[in-house]
């Protein structure tokens, strides 16, 4: 019985301690799962977002063969001088001449200030307010314009460069520039839009609805007579006339089926705001046409930039004028009647002279003369962000600023990868044809289009999803904006917590558009990819996925709602299993280029085809084209960088029907080898898709650069890799992108991975207060609690042993009777038995029968 008593006392003591210990251990396991689950859920959420984007695109993306053409051109990045033979225009053409037409009506605009109606000139004599309400009358009806200053248009210290008569360049950045450029809407018309300036009267375009759009200008400019106070002329945005055609071939091309790698697109790459940092260059003829007055030229070019920015805003693209250069002494390149050669010379000057002294994304030359025929503009296709091809040339052919603005917007569209809106593409345009249609239409009448069509939206999306416009995701520094911080310009500046734009375009529940402050309880503004339901996403969350093996992902930092700037692998990094090299974030092999031309069953031809055909120096085999139209034969070392030679595939190329095919049979090693090449006539601003793309391997350790086969070491990849200590790769800024587990900038010590530009590849270990609290519990509180329970268990066992020992010393035989001694009349040892009478039953509850498995 004593044995039973010891066992049962042990069971009771153990029963008090073990469930608590098990509960704490279970709690630790649950907390651990929760902590890891949070991280897993974050990763899953990012992944789910990517798949959601995929599903949306699958349902709505149906592209023509023209889009495939753009993809390959963008992937290749060929030089402009390698394009097709016959000079043709691939741009919008407009009616030549002054383009004045007859005004519909005269009007005197007025300004509403403090509920009072004032003359325009009087209201603006003390400057140009951030917000202004103007009114005008047209056909007996009064229209009110709600305008807000376009604060994001100009840099704070604009780079305005002109030349003295002796040819010395002068940077006029210390001279203040008045921002008098506005965007807005017509009150009571939800689909309206206004883009105009108040620098000297009202000048710009007023779109009231899809059937009524007006061009407004001061009257004294049109009539040249004495100034009539506040009198303005209203012109229609379209005048009947024979439309002028565009020289680009508009052949219908077969539908394009998207390949699987397209679906691995970057998260929210389409909805994320893009920024084009634009430079306008004015030639000497334009300078003379405007009385050689720098101020007049400056205001006109700012009007152009303001209009172009307004055109692109619906596409989530902002255009910021970061520089203006006026060739006031003479032209810096020869500007003649040939648009192709003029563009070539301008792009070379930009690469050599302009880029080194002013960082920008794109440059457009504005000319005062004209080209042969009806050509008014030209630009390289899918060339945005390229150092040698991102630009265009434009003729200022109308008195109205809308003509040159629409032409610049059109050529920028070509740079971004947009093609023409042909009838075969069945594009949807919200602007009626009688009002000029849309911006990318191949022909137009007196007034150019002012909107982008559904085809332009798809073209831009396709280009972005294939790596085009890599430089457009970098937000311009707010400190460069004109006039300091201004609420409503879509740039978050000093003193602002958010900026969702103008009153009629802000739909951000996290931001108060009137104060540029966050809503109560919000951590961030929802316009940022790294902001979810007004809360910052966890550091390490993917905000822009990699587009392919030559691209790098970007991660949220946990401190900003914006995704870090876009970067990719350094040019020259091997890809495609070493068969090619990365170039501007794109990997392109000869096999993939042949498949783009001839179909999925095509492959590159043997080396003997390249060495035989590309030495010919004609349109079927060459290493580029000179400005006089002649072709350059490839030297033996460069034959792999000339025209593509393929085998197999379809009987005709996939790209258009205006194509010449050359089949060459080469006898080599007692075998006849068939080589297939092609010559395309797609227009002068379309890169030749039949030339080997930049970055293609042309031998062991060799890479094609400008149709020359060069050693890949000139790109400095190996030197950059060495500083990454074997735990990362180099990005496009020649900085290390570290593997997960290694810390930038040199990947030498353990860390979170990623790069200085891309953000951490995983969440920093101490980034969350909740994580810190859990670590404190696990490392300090829980061990102390477990130590206390261990001591309690030891004390319990010690006490049990002491009490059992005392019991047996007092005579265990007395336990055979449950009647106390006093009840039997025995009082000899009453004092000794007192503990047994009162203490024993309370301490040990001994049942009459042995319990079964109580422990």
Could you report how far apart the first and last alpha carbons of the chain are, in Å?
17
| Token reading at 317 | 């693209």
Q: Is the peptide bond before 299 cis (omega within 30 degrees of 0)?
A: no
Give strand pairing partners of 152. Answer: none
Q: How far is CA 90 from CA 64, 376, 422, 457, in A?
A: 18, 10, 13, 19
- Could you say which DSSP state residue 593 is in? H
Q: Can you give the C-alpha Rg of the chain in angstroms?
A: 38
Which run of H or E residues covers position 206? strand 203-209
Which residues, other chains included, contact 342 with Cβ-Cβ below 8 Å and sequence gap of 6+?
A: 333, 334, 335, 336, 365, 367, 371, 378, 393
**Partner residues linked to 806 by β-bridges:** none
Cβ–Cβ contacts within 10 Å for residue 727, how many? Answer: 19
Q: Is 410 annotated as a binding residue?
A: yes
The DSSP-derived string for 352-418 is IIIHHHS--SEEEEEESS--STT--EEE-TT-TT-TTT-EEEEE--SSSHHHHHHHHHHHHHHHTT-
Distance CA 48, CA 56 (A): 12
Whole-angstrom distance, CA of residue 361 vs CA of residue 112? 39
Is residue 387 within 8 Å of 26, Cβ to Cβ? no
Looking at residue 638, what DSSP letter applies?
A: G
Our answer to whether residue 286 is catalytic in this structure is: no
Indicate which residue of 411, 496, 554, 763 is catalytic: 411
Helices (H), 207-293: 219-223, 284-289
Q: Which position has the token pair 């040698």?
A: 388
Cα–Cα distance for residue pair 426/509, rounded to 1 Å: 36
- Beta carbons of 96 and 370 less than 8 angstroms apart: yes
CB atoms inside a 10 Å sphere around CB 481:
23
Q: List the structure tokens of 82.
A: 């390698």
> Does 414 carry a binding-site annotation?
yes
Cβ–Cβ under 8 Å, residues 750 and 743: yes
Binding site listing for Zn(2+): 410, 414, 420
Which residues are known to be catalytic? 411
Binding residues: 410, 414, 420
């Amino acid at each position: 019985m004593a044995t039973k008593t010891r066992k049962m006392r042990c069971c009771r003591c153990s029963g008090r301690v073990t469930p608590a210990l098990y509960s704490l251990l279970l709690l630790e396991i649950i907390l651990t799962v929760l902590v890891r689950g949070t991280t897993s859920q974050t990763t899953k959420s990012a992944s789910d977002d990517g798949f959601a984007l995929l599903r949306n695109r699958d349902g709505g993306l149906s592209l023509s063969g023209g889009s495939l053409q753009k993809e390959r051109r963008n992937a290749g990045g060929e030089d402009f001088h390698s394009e097709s033979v016959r000079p043709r225009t691939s741009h919008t053409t407009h009616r030549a001449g002054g383009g004045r037409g007859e005004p519909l009506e005269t009007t005197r605009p007025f300004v509403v200030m403090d509920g009072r109606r004032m003359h325009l000139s009087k209201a603006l004599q003390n400057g140009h307010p951030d917000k202004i309400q103007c009114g005008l009358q047209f056909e007996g009806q009064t229209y009110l314009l709600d305008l807000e200053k376009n604060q994001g248009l100009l840099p704070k210290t604009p780079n305005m460069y002109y030349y003295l008569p002796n040819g010395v360049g002068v940077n006029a950045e210390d001279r203040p520039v008045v921002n008098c450029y506005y965007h807005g809407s017509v009150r009571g018309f939800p689909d309206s839009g206004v883009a105009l300036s108040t620098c000297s009267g009202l000048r710009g375009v007023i779109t009231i609805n899809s059937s009524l759009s007006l061009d407004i200008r001061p009257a004294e400019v049109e009539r040249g007579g004495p100034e009539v106070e506040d009198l303005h002329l209203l012109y229609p945005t379209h005048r009947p006339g024979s439309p002028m055609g565009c020289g680009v071939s508009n052949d219908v091309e077969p539908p394009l089926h998207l390949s699987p790698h397209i679906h691995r697109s970057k998260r929210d790459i389409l909805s994320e705001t893009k920024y084009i940092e634009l430079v306008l260059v004015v030639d000497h003829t334009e300078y003379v046409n405007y009385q050689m007055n720098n101020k007049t030229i400056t205001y006109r070019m700012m009007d152009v930039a303001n209009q172009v920015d307004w055109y692109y805003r619906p596409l989530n693209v902002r255009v910021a004028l970061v520089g203006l250069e006026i060739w006031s002494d003479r032209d810096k390149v020869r500007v003649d009647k040939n648009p192709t050669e003029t563009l070539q010379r301008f792009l070379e000057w930009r690469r050599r002279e302009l880029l080194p002294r002013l960082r920008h994304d794109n440059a457009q030359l504005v000319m005062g003369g004209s080209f042969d025929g009806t050509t008014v503009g030209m630009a390289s296709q899918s060339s945005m962000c390229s150092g040698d091809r991102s630009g265009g040339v434009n003729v200022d052919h109308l008195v109205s600023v809308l003509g040159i603005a629409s032409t610049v917007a059109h050529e920028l569209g070509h740079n971004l990868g947009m093609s023409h809106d042909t009838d075969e593409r069945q594009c949807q345009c919200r602007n009626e044809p009688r009002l000029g249609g849309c911006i990318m239409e191949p022909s137009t009448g007196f007034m150019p289009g002012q909107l982008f069509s559904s085809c332009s939206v798809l073209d831009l999306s396709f280009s972005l999803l294939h790596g085009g416009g890599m430089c457009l995701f970098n937000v311009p520094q707010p400190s460069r904006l004109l006039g300091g911080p201004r609420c409503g310009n879509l740039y978050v500046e000093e003193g602002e917590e958010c900026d969702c734009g103008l009153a009629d375009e802000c739909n951000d529940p996290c931001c108060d558009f009137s104060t540029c402050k966050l809503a109560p309880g919000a951590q961030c503004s929802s316009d940022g990819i790294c902001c979810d339901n007004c809360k910052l996403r966890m550091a390490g969350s993917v905000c822009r996925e990699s587009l392919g093996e030559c691209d790098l992902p970007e991660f949220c930092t946990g401190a900003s709602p914006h995704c870090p700037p876009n970067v990719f692998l350094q040019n020259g990094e091997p890809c495609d299993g070493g068969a090619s090299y990365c170039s501007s974030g794109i990997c392109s092999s000869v096999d993939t280029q042949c498949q783009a031309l001839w179909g999925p069953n095509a492959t590159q031809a043997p080396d003997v085809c390249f060495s035989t055909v590309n030495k010919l120096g004609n349109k079927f085999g060459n290493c580029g084209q000179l400005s006089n139209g002649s072709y350059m034969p490839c030297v033996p070392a460069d034959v792999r960088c000339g025209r593509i030679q393929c085998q197999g595939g379809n009987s005709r190329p996939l790209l258009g029907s205006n194509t010449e095919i050359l089949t060459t049979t080469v006898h080599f090693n007692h075998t006849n080898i068939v080589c297939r090449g092609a010559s395309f006539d797609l227009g002068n601003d379309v890169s030749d898709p039949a030339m080997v793309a930049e970055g293609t391997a042309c031998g062991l350790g060799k890479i094609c650069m400008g149709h020359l086969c060069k050693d890949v070491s000139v790109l400095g990849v190996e030197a950059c890799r060495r500083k990454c200590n074997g735990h990362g790769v180099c990005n496009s800024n020649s900085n290390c992108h570290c593997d997960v587990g290694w810390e930038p900038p040199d990947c030498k010590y353990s860390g979170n991975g990623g790069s200085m530009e891309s953000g951490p590849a995983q969440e920093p270990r101490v980034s969350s207060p909740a994580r810190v609290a859990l670590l404190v519990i696990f490392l300090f509180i829980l061990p102390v609690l477990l130590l206390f329970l261990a001591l309690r268990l030891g004390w319990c066992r010690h006490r049990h042993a002491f009490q059992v020992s005392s019991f047996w010393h007092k005579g265990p035989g007395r336990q055979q009777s449950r009647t106390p001694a006093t009840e039997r009349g025995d009082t000899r040892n009453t004092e000794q038995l007192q503990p047994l009478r009162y203490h024993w039953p309370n301490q040990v509850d001994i049942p009459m029968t042995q319990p079964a498995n109580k422990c």
